């Protein structure tokens, strides 16, 4: 009964380093979404991907952030040259199709020293 799997659960980086967050969707799900959550706030949409394609990246910062969902393997959210303001919980969700509910992983908590 594997749900959405995210790793690592916690990630600590120094300013200027790169952070790679991984997400394996639920079995059979080809739609993946990344969200960011700051403490005491709701989740904010970042990017929506289907296999090998970015469908909507309107919530993603233009610089330093990128996402991919290759044909084989997990989806990756990559943050280059991290800054303190990147500290947050990053959640991945997947769905069977565009009109089906999204199911979330337990997130990666990114801390920048």
Partner 1 sequence: GQQLNQSPQSMFIQEGEDVSMNCTSSSIFNTWLWYKQEPGEGPVLLIALYKAGELTSNGRLTAQFGITRKDSFLNISASIPSDVGIYFCAGLTLFTGGNEKLTFGTGTRLTIIP
Task: Give the x/- contact pattern for partner 1 in 93-112, rule: CB under 8 A.
Answer: x----xx-xxxxxxx-----
Q: Which of positions 77-96 make contact with partner 1 (CB under 8 A)?
A: 91, 93
Nearby residues of 7 by Cβ (< 8 Å), 6 or more positions away:
22, 108
Closest separation between CB of residue 43 and partner 1, Å? 5
Taking the mean position of all CA atoms in its chain, how far away is CA 64? 14
Task: Give the x/- contact pattern for partner 1 in 31-50, rule: CB under 8 A.
Answer: --x-x----xxxxxx--x--
Residue closer to partner 1 by CB (options 43, 76) is 43
| Interface residue with partner 1, options 11, 20, 22, 59 (CB under 8 A) | 59
Distance CA 26, CA 113 (A): 32
How many binding residues for partner 1 (CB under 8 A)? 26
Here the tokens at position 60 are 């993603």
Instruction: Return residues touching partner 1 (CB under 8 A).
Output: 4, 6, 33, 35, 40-45, 48, 55-56, 58-59, 91, 93, 98-99, 101-107
């Amino acid at each position: 009964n594997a749900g959405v799997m995210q790793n690592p659960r916690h990630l600590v980086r120094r300013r200027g380093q790169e952070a790679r967050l991984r997400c394996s969707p639920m079995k059979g799900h080809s739609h993946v979404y990344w969200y960011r959550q700051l403490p005491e706030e709701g989740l904010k949409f970042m990017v929506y991907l289907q296999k090998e394609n970015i469908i909507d990246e309107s919530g993603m910062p233009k610089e330093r952030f990128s996402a991919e969902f290759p044909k084989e393997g997990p989806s990756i959210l990559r943050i280059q040259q991290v800054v303190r303001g990147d500290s947050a919980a990053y959640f991945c969700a997947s769905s069977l199709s565009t009109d089906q509910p999204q199911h979330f992983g337990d997130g990666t908590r990114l801390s920048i020293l």
